[in-house]
Structure 1
Amino acid sequence: MKKKQHDWSPADQAEQHYLVQPRTLAGGGDIRHVSEFLRASGWRDRSRTGGPLRMESPDRTLRVAFDPYVLPGGWTIHGRANGPNGEWAAQLGERTPVEIVAGLTDALTRPRAAHAPNVWAPLEEQQWDMRFEGENYVATSPDGTAWMQYHQSTDGSAIWWTGAKDKQGNGWAAHFTPNTPMHLVQAFSAELAGPEPVMRPRGHVPLSAQIRTWSVSVKPSRLIAWQQARITAARASTWARNSAKGSRPRTTAPSYTPAGSVRTRR
């Protein structure tokens, strides 16, 4: 009797991962969660072999970098001055979960929504505690491990601080310069407050008494499929935007030459 063939290979055997909650204390994660989405959205990879990650937007006005080799290491997102918008930057610590970083960096690839942004709305939806502390307006997560602060200077500029920390002092911090577009800060706060756990492989789960974990077995092919779905969505969105730009009607009239006149070549 012929033996039945199995449709799996040793390379695709399930591996142990962990779902971690709260996501704010899950550790940095795989930076390709950010970089591959940007690459699929048409961004250029300016990284040097063996060096820190450096990505640049197609119009060269935005840059995203991750450098773990300097102190303090972490993420830098930078926007050049553009028309009425001034130069801005965001600095995020090395242990900022990539899913939260992607809240901001994914938003860099999308058109700005027509409605006015509200940074606090995602936090209020998740029952964060809102209060004034001196001159700062502060929001704290229900478990007290994550926060977001707002301070308005006398010149009207707004500065944002945010981060997470457990009782052992492990965590991360981030800040946004005054000119950071508010829709980007809102996109960040939405992921900051997200209640869903995030996944980390075995050996990459922080040691903290304030996280909860669930062991799950996942095949490498399944992980690749999840990653590919995210990349495919980025490519489809980019293609749709570029197609819409190409199909827009002309807004300027063609040059007009009166009958009988002759154009002079130069």
Structure 2
Amino acid sequence: MKRQQWQGWGAGEQAEQHYLVEPRALAGGGDVRHVSEFLRASGWRDKSKAGGPLYLESPDRTVQISYDPYVLPGGWTIHGQAAGTQAEWWATLGRQTPVEIVAGLTDALTRPRSAHAPNVWAPLGEQHWHARADGGHYTATSPDGSAWMQYHQGPGGEAMWWAGAKDSQGNGWTAQFTPSIPMHLVQAFSTALASPEPVMRPRGRAPHSAQIRTTSVSVLPSQLSAWQQARITAARAATWARNSVRSPRTRTTARPHAHTGGARIHH
């Protein structure tokens, strides 16, 4: 019997060169669809105008996310409206913030909040970031010194979360969070920021910096598509599961217990 290659996977494809970049904080912005497609699959409304910046709104309309590359300095703006006991909050992230780090925060917006008290510093400590206190500032710096996370308290009591990364040439990004932002979102961000996992960039899109390490890999377009689709499928499955639990049709049956995250809290 003559063996045939499955036409849907790799038939006639040419492998493309990509690079695994580390540390991830210096990898550059990346493909915005890594963030936006996950949110769309999670039920967020795409309210972008043709040719304009990206603009997405949460299903309950309490959170808006925009990405505008057409203005300076440009980048991400995430706005949470006041709701119940939650005060209005904002987060701004520069355009060179890697999308994998942005997604740490935005993915968390689609998930139920853990019952555990959030600890922003725990993920950084687990990756051996250096922490120091200086007056009203508390700062954690990555082992190579290229990335940081800071809690800053001014003389008037005003507080601000600040994070970012910069190489020796001055290329990088910063992110700011108002003190009213839910702390589990800042912890999700710090977890993505500190992750030792490299991120992938296409040929020609990896930054030129002496402080990054790159590993060349050959990737088939179908492989890339499958990885992207797996992320979208996971978002759709989680959204379907949440909506099924909320559906009136399930009121006559026992609801499954939600599993809370097993995050370890470091004091």
Do the two structures share a fold, i.e. TM-score over 0.5? yes
TM-score when scaled to structure 2? 0.89
Deviations 1:188-221 (CA, angstroms, capped at 9, x unpaired): 0000000010000001000100000000000000
Secondary structure of the 1:47 match is coil
User: In the alignment, does 2:56 pair up with 1:50?
Assistant: no
User: In the alignment, does 2:236 pair up with 1:235?
Assistant: yes
CA 154–245 in structure 1, closer or farther in 2 if over 3 Å, else same: farther
Secondary structure of the 2:192 match is helix
CA 51–115 in structure 1, closer or farther in 2 if over 3 Å, else same: same
| Alpha-carbon shift at residue 90 of structure 1 (Å) | 0.2
Aligned to 1:116: 117
Aligned to 2:91: 90
Secondary structure of the 2:176 match is strand
CA 18–155 in structure 1, closer or farther in 2 if over 3 Å, else same: same
Residues of 1 paired with 2:5 and 2:179: CA distance? 59
| Alpha-carbon shift at residue 157 of structure 1 (Å) | 5.2
Secondary structure of the 1:175 match is strand
Q: CA RMSD in A?
A: 1.8
Aligned to 1:264: none
Residues of 2 paired with 1:113 and 1:159: CA distance? 23
Secondary structure of the 1:178 match is coil
Residues of 1 paired with 2:121 and 2:252: CA distance? 38
Aligned to 1:151: 152
User: In the alignment, does 2:68 pair up with 1:67?
Assistant: yes
Report the number of matched residues.
248
- Which structure 2 residue ranges, 5 or more long, are not aligned? 254-267
Residues of 2 paired with 1:230 and 1:210: CA distance? 29
Task: Using the aligned pairs only, state the percent identity.
Answer: 72
CA 118–249 in structure 1, closer or farther in 2 if over 3 Å, else same: farther
| Alpha-carbon shift at residue 156 of structure 1 (Å) | 5.5
Residues of 1 paired with 2:24 and 2:174: CA distance? 14
Deviations 1:213-258 (CA, angstroms, capped at 9, x unpaired): 00000000000000000000000000111111122469xxxxxxxx
Aligned to 1:139: 140
User: In the alignment, does 2:133 pair up with 1:167?
Assistant: no
Residues of 1 paired with 2:5 and 2:65: CA distance? 44
Retained in 1: the 8 A contact 2:67–2:77?
Answer: yes
| Alpha-carbon shift at residue 72 of structure 1 (Å) | 1.3
| Alpha-carbon shift at residue 135 of structure 1 (Å) | 1.9
Residues of 2 paired with 1:223 and 1:96: CA distance? 21
CA 155–241 in structure 1, closer or farther in 2 if over 3 Å, else same: farther
Secondary structure of the 1:113 match is coil
CA 60–208 in structure 1, closer or farther in 2 if over 3 Å, else same: same
Runs of 4+ in 1 over 6 A off after TM superposition: none
| Alpha-carbon shift at residue 4 of structure 1 (Å) | 7.6
CA 72–121 in structure 1, closer or farther in 2 if over 3 Å, else same: same
Aligned to 1:107: 108
Aligned to 2:193: 192
Residues of 1 paired with 2:146 and 2:223: CA distance? 31
Secondary structure of the 2:241 match is helix
Corresponding letter in the other structure for 1:173? T
User: In the alignment, does 2:91 pair up with 1:80?
Assistant: no
- Which structure 1 residue ranges, 5 or more long, are not aligned? 251-266
Residues of 2 paired with 1:208 and 1:132: CA distance? 30
Aligned to 1:23: 24
Residues of 1 paired with 2:57 and 2:245: CA distance? 22
Residues of 2 paired with 1:202 and 1:249: CA distance? 54
Retained in 1: the 8 A contact 2:76–2:92?
Answer: yes
Residues of 1 paired with 2:66 and 2:103: CA distance? 13
CA 112–156 in structure 1, closer or farther in 2 if over 3 Å, else same: farther
| Alpha-carbon shift at residue 6 of structure 1 (Å) | 5.6
Paired residues for 1:239-250 under 5 Å: 239-246=240-247, 247-248=250-251
Residues of 2 paired with 1:78 and 1:45: CA distance? 15
Secondary structure of the 2:30 match is coil
Aligned to 2:265: none
Secondary structure of the 2:223 match is helix
